[in-house]
Amino acid sequence: MRNLTAVDGTTVPIPDPDRLVHLQFRRFAGCPICNLHLREIVRRHDEIAAAGLREVVVFHSPASELAEYDLPFAVIADPQKLLYAEFGVGASRRALLHPRVYLPLLRAVTRGTIAVLRGREKAPASHQANGRLGLPADFLIAPDGRTVARKYGRHAYDQWPVDELLGLAAETAMPARRGRTGI
């Protein structure tokens, strides 16, 4: 067991003794593609929590850049990419060149530009100390510490959609339910 410190100062146990942890690795603070996916996570956060999941999102930005975002889940700053290395999360120069990235990238940049122009969001820093080319990764960690599912993204928008995440959580919980009911 380890305790991570979220940017708001709270302690985040990994694994969580009471629920599954969805540990996400994203790129940098303000990343338009990451924000597109995280908006869905925020929108469906109550549903995710009701499924017994705790969201924990790791960025390779410093805490000072992440602190300005008001998100309903734990956000971890890992500017030295220590957790990225530990979990085998990499980067690729071709992460943005995959054809499945084009439409989400266009949507993300358009939406982000409008939000910045309207003053709703701040533009990402022009220089990212750890670059802009990280790949996403998702891990589902059980209370006993086992990684019960994982996904290493092959391109910049290759992560678990919320419906897939909820399905994985249900599959993981089913054996425990069977054991309690005697079925």
Q: From CA 71, how far away is CA 146, in angstroms rounded?
A: 26
Dihedral over Cα of 60, 161, 12, 145: its sign: negative
116 burial via Cβ count (<10 Å: 0-12, 13-18, 19+): middle
pLDDT for 38 equals 87
pLDDT for 172 equals 86
pLDDT for 156 equals 75
Render pLDDT for 80-91 as a digit per residue (tens, 0 to 9): 999 999 999 987
Low-confidence ranges of the chain (pLDDT < 70): 94-99, 101-106, 108-109, 112-113, 115-116, 121-133, 174-183
Question: Domains of the chain, with CATH numbers?
Answer: 2-181 (3.40.30.10)
- 3-state class (DSSP) for residue 115: helix
Single-letter amino acid, residue 140: L
pLDDT for 4 equals 96
pLDDT for 183 equals 43
Q: Which two tokens stand for residue 146?
A: 């086992």
Cα angle for residues 131, 134, 138 (degrees, 5° grid): 150
